[in-house]
A = this chain, B = another copy of it.
Amino acid sequence: MKKITLKDIGKHFGVSISTVSKAVRDSHEISTELKLKIQKYAKENNYKPNKVALSLLNKSTKTIGVVIPNILNYFFIQVLYGIEKIANEKGYNIISCISDESNEKEGKTLEVLDAGTVDGLIMSLTNDSDINKNISYLQEIASSQIPVVLFDRVSDAINCDKVIVDDYESGFKTTEYFINIGCKNIAVITPISNSNIGKLRIDGYKKALHKNGISFDEGMILNIEPKHDLDLEMSFLLNYKKIDALLCLDEITAVKVQSIVKERGYSVPGDISIIGFTNGQLSKYVTPAMTMVSQHGKYIGEMASKMLIKRIEEPDSGEPFETKVIKTSLIVRESTKKID
């Protein structure tokens, strides 16, 4: 049997729809006798108010949209996990969309989500070169349709709540950590050179060098592209100068780089210390276990979820938009020299 409706129940008892609705909601307007009969029948036939009808009535879907660029990235999964956890606790469902680092898919997703499907939106922008394409559209959604919370990859052009990692600070702190353990020739390997995040981390790196009297050398920054040959690129870098520290801006790169370095006969951390961003599942289990910068993905997701739901449920609070900066922490393992 298909899902039963109020109308069906009404017909069964020869009463009106409103009577049934009130009966199942236990209204005092309905006689106890009739209520009991209706409630029993409703329960037996597994009646549940149709969510779609309720959404239309209440102008609220109890659903939030989440758009992430890449689902096979552990950081984003952790964020998603955090978002789902809080949303679930507060009675919201999440529609998850993967933009696959494509501006086009991101735009399409926004179109769908902007048609009344969700009460709010949590997203992280793609790194796609054509970066400005959807920004104005998203700005319009944020300003007039539904609350939006941006995380990690954000944009100044959009006026909304944001949760970001302290990328500049963590680039700085991590570099100083290298310097403190005695490293002087610190190279950076970045697969995200075109993103704002990557730039901030490198800015922090530069500042730490400067503060410690080490001159910055452009040749120490290795930009890698998905299609390039990391092995070959690493050759150039390792031959370019004597290097004693490598800062990798994501986890997979860190793991691959460590593997390449070891194969070439360097000892880690004896010859070269390595630190990577994103404390995911990989870094713990490779040999040596890697020192990583944890961005606290789950916490970021929880925070974003809370901020969004607050906006949804208190639309006219009048509170100005906020940008929460989550501090990273360094998870020290075996890929870095010990502090003297």
With A95-B95, A116-B52: A72-B77 Cβ-Cβ less than 8 Å: yes
CB distance from A122 to the nearest CB of B (A): 13
CB distance from A8 to the nearest CB of B (A): 14
With A71-B77, A98-B84: A116-B285 Cβ-Cβ less than 8 Å: no
Do A93 and B116 touch across chains, with their CB atoms under 8 A apart? no
Q: How far is the CA of A176 from the CA of B6 in the complex (A)?
A: 60
Identity of the chain B residue whose Cβ is nearest the Cβ of A3 in the assembled complex = B145
Mark A241-269 against chain B: 1 for CB-CB distance below 8 A, else 0. 00000000000100110010000000000
Do A117 and B52 touch across chains, with their CB atoms under 8 A apart? yes
- A93-112 residues at the B interface, CB under 8 angstroms: 93-98, 105, 111-112
Do B96 and A48 touch across chains, with their CB atoms under 8 A apart? no
CB distance from A86 to the nearest CB of B (A): 12
Query: A53-61, A162-170, A320-328: which one contacts chain B?
Result: A53-61
Judged by DSSP, the binding face of A is mixed
Do B282 and A3 touch across chains, with their CB atoms under 8 A apart? no
CB distance from A9 to the nearest CB of B (A): 16
CB distance from A285 to the nearest CB of B (A): 5
Do A81 and B56 touch across chains, with their CB atoms under 8 A apart? no
Report which of B98, B145, B256, B286 forms a contact with A286, defined as CB distance below 8 A: B286
Does A40 touch B at the CB level, under 8 Å?
A: no
Mark A33-56 against chain B: 1 for CB-CB distance below 8 A, else 0. 000000000000010111111011
Q: How far is the CA of A282 from the CA of B255 in the complex (A)?
A: 10
Do A50 and B115 touch across chains, with their CB atoms under 8 A apart? yes
Does A63 touch B at the CB level, under 8 Å?
A: yes
Does A209 touch B at the CB level, under 8 Å?
A: no
Do A116 and B256 touch across chains, with their CB atoms under 8 A apart? no
Does A140 touch B at the CB level, under 8 Å?
A: yes
Do B98 and A93 touch across chains, with their CB atoms under 8 A apart? no
Query: 6 pairs across A/B with beta carbons < 8 Å?
Result: A50-B115, A51-B116, A52-B55, A53-B56, A71-B80, A72-B77
Binding site for B on A (CB under 8 A): 1-3, 46, 48-53, 55-56, 61, 63, 71-72, 74, 77-78, 80-81, 84, 88, 93-98, 105, 111-112, 114-117, 140, 144-145, 252, 255-256, 259, 280-282, 285-287
Known interface pairs A48-B116, A72-B81; 11 further A-B residue pairs with C-beta atoms within 8 A, sorted by A's residue number? A3-B145, A50-B115, A52-B56, A72-B78, A77-B77, A88-B98, A93-B117, A94-B95, A94-B96, A256-B285, A287-B287
